[in-house]
Amino acid sequence: MSEGHRTDEPAVEVVPAEVAARLDAPTRAVLTDPGWRRLHPVTPVLRAWKAVAAVLAVVVVQNGDDLLRLDLPGWVLTLSILGGLLLLAVVGAVYSALAWRRTRYRIDAEAVHVERGILWRQQRRAQLDRLQAVDVVRPLLGRLFGLAELRLEVAGGSGSKVSLAYLQEEEAQRVRNALLAASAGVVVAEGEDAPEAPQREVVEVPPTRLIVSTLRSGLTIWMVLGLIGIGIGCWFAKSLTPLFGSLAGVLGLVSAVWQRFSTGFNFTVADAPDGLRMSHGLLEQRSQTVPPGRVQALRITQPLLWRSAGWWRVDVNVAGYSGESGKASEQSTTLLPVGTLDELGLVLAIVLPDLGTGTESPLDVVRAGLTGSSTEGGFTPAPRSARWLDPLSWRRRGYRVTEHAFLSRNGRFVRGLDVVPHARTQSLGVSQGPVQRRLGLASVVLHSTPGKVKPRVDHLDPATAARLLAEQTARSRAARAGSGPERWMSR
């Protein structure tokens, strides 16, 4: 049985003509040259090598054992492989060059326009007032040529991302500054470029802490156990057959561990007038800017092996990142890969400057949600009957509502706390499975932008769940109506 209420009705607001003119005026000159532009001429080279690397990886992983069994001289096999890769590189370069010739972009007062395609022409239009984040990505090979990729994350679900790859680093920064200024409603004199907003560094993750936290993660433990199991299998089989049979899984685990270290390397969080800024990456460096109010939901977690060190991880949902997966999702949605409680407080002060806790310290409320149980910290806990469905962590389950946010805690071995601003709640629902019905329990689900954070409160009393649904619906509707215009500098 399930029921839900939508809370995303648009607020109707009458804007005077003079106010509307003032809001539109700042973006009449986003760039000094508003015409069509092309990407950097080296772009086809950077795109072609990716195709060669992808095909080579598939051949090695899926056919590595068969290649070793071929009854061919070594030099013949080597020349065949090199010749195939060379042919593939030439074909990829030609196709990339044609694609580059048919790709161009233009930025006007309202949107970013991108045209591309060889056989099928595509036109993309990204509204500036729907801009969720702007990333400047510098891959290892691109840095050798002084190039960067500009990624625009726009609200709109899967496929809403707009990528401009590749631009000169100076041009990428200039376009980024112009887009953030235009989407904020900052007045820029016509014929001048928007200046870069100053930033204040808040948190920097030391490499030693990142390494130790990665070694303490469950992912590393599973990788070590997997390698030990494969080694034992090869020893009993007296061959490398078990290794080739498990190569894809081994590479996946190793890649995941390396990705966590590589993407979290040199991680810094800074505060700036144009939003939250994050910079990180070892091989591929990434600079992210999330404008104010774009974080839809936030989740704080602490694995069991991090508890003695007092470390926490913060992930977020951002509308523009909802369609990403894998490595891109890991990079985009991590707000703090590993940090202390004090650093967590500094980050929360930027993302959620006011939880609406009155005279209580916001950090004390968050701490109670992270480590407390039962009614500690003013949380409403799950009833005692929930122990039949969740015998280990039912005391940890609960929720608290403040003036500006909804908090839900859970997890005994992996502690977790979800925080959702009222204005960012998309919809709510109540669900009740057959076992829950028999025990007199129900769950409340808050629907945020798709992402890692999936806020919900399980195993509540049905009367409490129904009351929470009605009250939270009213809070969310009122918060959304008073959230102000998308261009935050005009509020």
Q: Answer yes or no: is pLDDT of 156 > 50.
A: yes
Tens-digit pLDDT profile for residues 132-143: 888 999 998 889
Tens-digit pLDDT profile for residues 270-321: 998 888 899 999 989 999 988 877 888 999 999 999 999 999 999 999 876 7
Residues 344 and 384 in one domain: yes
E strands, 139-221, are: 147-154, 162-168, 200-204
Residues 30 and 168 in one domain: yes
At residue 59 the predicted structure's pLDDT band, cuts being 50, 70 and 90, is low
Question: Considering just the CA atoms, what is the radius of gyration of the chain in Å?
Answer: 26
- Whichever domain contains 163, its CATH number is 2.30.29
Tens-digit pLDDT profile for residues 360-388: 888 888 888 999 988 988 999 999 999 99
- Tokens representing 95 are 């196709």
Q: Answer yes or no: is pLDDT of 330 > 90.
A: no
d(CA 289, CA 291): 6
201 burial via Cβ count (<10 Å: 0-12, 13-18, 19+): exposed
Domain assignment present for residue 14? The answer is no
Domain assignment present for residue 277? The answer is no
Residues 467 and 331 in one domain: yes
- CB-CB contact of 372 with 243 (8 Å): no
Please give the tally of structural domains in the chain.
Answer: 4
Residues 68 and 217 in one domain: no
Residues 311 and 450 in one domain: yes
Arithmetic mean of pLDDT, 213-225: 85
Residues 432 and 348 in one domain: yes
- CB-CB contact of 336 with 269 (8 Å): yes
d(CA 267, CA 207): 9
Phi, psi dihedrals of residue 374, rounded to the nearest 5°: 55, -130
- Tokens representing 414 are 């992996």
Q: Answer yes or no: is pLDDT of 488 > 80.
A: no
Whole-number pLDDT of residue 58: 62
Whole-number pLDDT of residue 194: 73
Q: Give me the domain span that covers residue 302.
A: 291-482
Whole-number pLDDT of residue 357: 82
Domain assignment present for residue 10? The answer is no
Domain assignment present for residue 489? The answer is no
Q: What is the dihedral of CA 347, 351, 354, 355, to 10 degrees?
A: -90
Whole-number pLDDT of residue 207: 94
Tens-digit pLDDT profile for residues 233-248: 778 877 776 666 676 7
Residues 310 and 440 in one domain: yes
Whole-number pLDDT of residue 294: 83
Residues 168 and 111 in one domain: yes
Provide the whole-model pTM. 0.79
DSSP characters over 156-175: SSTT--EEEEEEEHHHHHHH
Residues 447 and 319 in one domain: yes
